Structure 1
Amino acid sequence: MPANTRHRRETKWFPSVWRLCLLAGLCLPLTGCTEDRMTLNLVGHNHTNRSIYSFGVNEYGGGYLGAHRGGGGHTCCISIPRAYRPGMTVTVWWSDWGGENAMERIVEVPRYGPDEGGAFAVHFLRSGEVKVFVTMMGYWHPNYPLKGEDAEL
């Protein structure tokens, strides 16, 4: 085989390999952008005198919460980062029957560990505050994060 023919064959594939390596190099940083997440049941607790027709957290919706009721119905599912980030917030939204009196509030998520993920609990308190917790404990458990008068339904 003449020398110049062999050279043309070897250099013919070189631009294809170079493009493939460049493409792989550009995609490599994207693999680090995926965040490890955990899926939790969404549960609501209404400590107020008014029924809540619907509620939700970010794009995840919950169901009906009667006045002074909650905890019985878990909605599947809500996805949050497995690793807690200081200052992490969620948007909690709710409304009366027929979507009247729609409200939303940005609520800070208290610190949680990756092994605490059982439910994402939302509490609508009599004071007008909204509190959220990531917890493995049921509402009745003595170590449940909400205590005192706030915890009374």
Structure 2
Amino acid sequence: MKKLAGGLVLLLLSTMLSSCHAAADTMGLGVVGYNHTDHDIGDFSVNGEAGSYVGKHEEHGEACCVSLPAKFTSGMTVTVTWTDEYNKHPQIRTVPVPPYTPEDSGVFAVHFLRNGDIKVFVTDLVIISNPDGPLKGDEARM
């Protein structure tokens, strides 16, 4: 019985260690939605995870979670899906992820812009009006 218990502990430890190694290669980020448009967004998600309702000209607080590589790789994209205010008319778009560093890893911000574009950022600057934020000028206006 002791050998069986010892074997189970060893198996559990090796599983935990291997998942820690995988976790070091990725980072989990809360998702914040910003709706710059004149229409409510019934629901949105990033790579099939997180997101929720975002009213017109509003920010929706952090939802959990999207997983990204800890180190940025050129050409990275995410898939953003969303619906209208009645949770109908689903849409999907592949969006490029701009470069980020480990220091940027506060949240994953999804911006639905008035011109129909969607921009995403890994950022620790969650205040939209921050002059150092990724959106500038009219784009940043809610």
TM range, smaller chain: 0.7 to 0.9
Larger radius of gyration: 1
Q: 2:117 aligns with which of 118, 122, 129?
A: 129
Q: 1:68 aligns with which of 41, 57, 77?
A: 57
**Separation of aligned partners in 2, 1:123 and 1:113:** 20
**Separation of aligned partners in 2, 1:122 and 1:150:** 13
CA deviation vs aligned residue, 1:79-135 (integer Å, no higher than 9, x gap): 111000000000001001443111010000000001210000000001000000000
Q: 2:34 aligns with which of 45, 53, 60?
A: 45
**Separation of aligned partners in 1, 2:136 and 2:36:** 13
Report the TM-score, using the length of structure 2 for normalisation. 0.80
Are 1:36 and 2:15 an aligned pair? Answer: no
**Paired letter, 1:120:** F
**Separation of aligned partners in 1, 2:71 and 2:49:** 19
Which residue does 1:87 correspond to in 2?
A: 75
5+ residue gaps in structure 2?
1-17
**Separation of aligned partners in 2, 1:79 and 1:141:** 25
**Paired letter, 1:62:** G
Q: 1:77 aligns with which of 45, 60, 65?
A: 65
Q: 2:138 aligns with which of 118, 137, 149?
A: 149
Instruction: Say which SS state the counterpart of residue 138 (structure 2) adopts.
Output: helix
Percent identity, aligned pairs only, is 45
CA deviation vs aligned residue, 1:58-90 (integer Å, no higher than 9, x gap): 0212111111111x4110221111000000000
Instruction: Say which SS state the counterpart of residue 150 (structure 1) adopts.
Output: helix
